């Protein structure tokens, strides 16, 4: 039986597997995104690969260091299938929070773990991850603070907002590693990474031939423009700050920005853009704000 028909069953199974936590997460995670969460799992430890070609493209983390990813090669029947996971971890929406962030693994590869244990949907253990255990599995590290969308800089504070370029550099590198010949490809992410999976889904689809089966998975990637218990629209302020600070508007799909005013797009980019996404997306979310 193929992988796609079983996806709903797999997601239910994975819901009980190790879960991580991160700022701004709005729902249950179906796979671990916490870099150190290997408790109870014997999943493989996978080395960090820094993208050496990224600097020439201006694709750098908040502090100017090289971006990276962890790749665990597939085998057997899964050797020509790829699962790309965009790491989550909140956002920074003003200079102060981004300066703080660049001193951590969320803003600099200098602080990233050199190995991560792959668990849940990234695991190489068939009993834990029955459908994707033997796929090529990639975790793209998150160090831009803007869901892989920014394309600007702040010279005064030494900040680089280059999330869109990091995304492109990572995909280019993976294509050169064999992903361009994939039979099946799944773009996934949780929380801030889930929002990014929505934003980049059609772009990802367009990188493959029409005969490649491509789908996306957004886990807890929807953040609603709703009033919180304090009477504020917190997420509206967060996203508005990200788009203004990081010049993310240039990276948002034209299918959305061409028909909506800039204020509406800034408020809730992932919620507004999903309506225009043509590639199939699986949404996983236990609850909303």
pLDDT, tens digit (0-9, with 9 covering 90-100), for 237-255: 888 899 999 988 877 777 6
* DSSP-based three-state secondary structure for 170: helix
Taking the C-alpha atoms of residue 233 and residue 245, their distance in angstroms, rounded to an integer, is: 19
Question: CATH second-level architecture of 4-284?
Answer: 3-Layer(aba) Sandwich (3.40)
Residue 253 CA: distances (Å) to CA of 1, 69, 170, 219 = 35, 24, 19, 20
| Alpha-carbon torsion angle 51, 53, 58, 62, nearest 10 | 20
**For residue 157, which of 104, 96, 108, 111 has the smallest C-alpha distance?**
96
| pLDDT (0 to 100) of residue 277 | 81
How does 241-257 read in b/e, with b if 16+ C-beta sit within 10 Å?
bbbebbbbbebbbeebb
**pLDDT (0 to 100) of residue 20:** 31
| Residue 239: half-sphere exposure toward Cβ, Cα within 13 Å | 26
Give me the pLDDT at residue 256, please: 67
Q: In b/e form, how buried is each residue of 52-76, taking b as 16+ CB within 10 angstroms?
A: eebeeeebbbbbbbbbbbbbbebee
Residue 239 has what pLDDT?
Answer: 87
pLDDT the model gives residue 220? 83
- C-alpha closest to that of 146 among 182, 200, 110: 200
DSSP state of 4: G
Measured CA to CA in angstroms, residue 154 lies from 50, 102, 141, 206, 224 at distances of 24, 13, 22, 31, 29
List the one residue out of 85, 138, 119 whose CA is nearest residue 17. Answer: 119
Task: Tell me what pLDDT residue 40 has.
Answer: 56
The pLDDT value given to residue 9: 35
Report angle CA 11, 13, 18 to the nearest 5 degrees. 95
CB count in 10 Å sphere of residue 12: 11
| Closest of 45, 54, 238 to residue 137, by C-alpha | 45
Q: What is the pTM of this model?
A: 0.81
Tell me the backbone φ, ψ of residue 286, rounded to 5 degrees: -80, -40
The series of mean pLDDT values per 10 residues for the chain, 289 residues long, is 43 33 31 42 92 98 99 98 98 97 98 98 97 98 97 97 98 98 98 94 96 95 82 85 89 69 50 72 71
**Burial class of residue 15, CB neighbours in 10 A (0-12, 13-18, 19+):** middle
- Please report, for the chain, the start and end positions of each structural domain, with discontinuous segments joined by +: 4-284
pLDDT at residue 260 in the model: 59
Q: What was the pLDDT predicted at 223?
A: 79
């Amino acid at each position: 039986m193929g992988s796609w028909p079983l996806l709903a069953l797999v997601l239910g199974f994975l819901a009980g597997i190790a879960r991580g936590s991160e700022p701004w997460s709005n729902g249950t995670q179906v796979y671990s995104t916490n870099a150190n969460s290997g408790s109870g799992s014997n999943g493989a430890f996978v080395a960090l690969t820094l993208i050496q070609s990224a600097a020439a493209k201006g694709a750098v983390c908040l502090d100017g260091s090289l971006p990276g990813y962890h790749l665990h090669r597939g085998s057997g029947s899964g050797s020509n299938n790829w699962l790309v996971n965009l790491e989550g971890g909140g956002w920074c929406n003003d200079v102060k929070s981004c300066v703080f962030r660049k001193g951590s693994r969320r803003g600099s590869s200098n602080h990233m773990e050199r190995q991560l244990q792959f668990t849940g949907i990234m695991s190489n253990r068939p009993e834990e991850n029955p459908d994707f255990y033997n796929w090529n599995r990639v975790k793209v590290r998150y160090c831009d603070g803007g869901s892989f969308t920014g394309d600007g800089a702040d010279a005064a504070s030494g900040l680089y907002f280059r999330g869109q370029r990091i995304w492109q550099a990572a995909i280019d590198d993976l294509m050169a590693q064999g992903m361009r010949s994939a039979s099946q490809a799944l773009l996934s992410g949780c929380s801030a990474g889930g929002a990014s999976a929505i934003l980049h889904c059609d772009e990802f689809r367009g990188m493959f031939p029409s005969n490649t089966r491509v789908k996306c998975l957004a886990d807890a990637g929807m953040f609603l423009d709703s009033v919180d218990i304090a009477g504020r629209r917190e997420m509206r302020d967060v996203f508005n700050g990200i788009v203004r600070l990081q010049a993310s508007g240039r990276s948002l799909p034209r299918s959305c920005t061409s028909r909506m005013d800039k204020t509406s797009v800034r408020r809730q980019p992932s919620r507004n853009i999903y309506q225009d996404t043509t590639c199939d997306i699986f949404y996983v979310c236990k609850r909303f704000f």
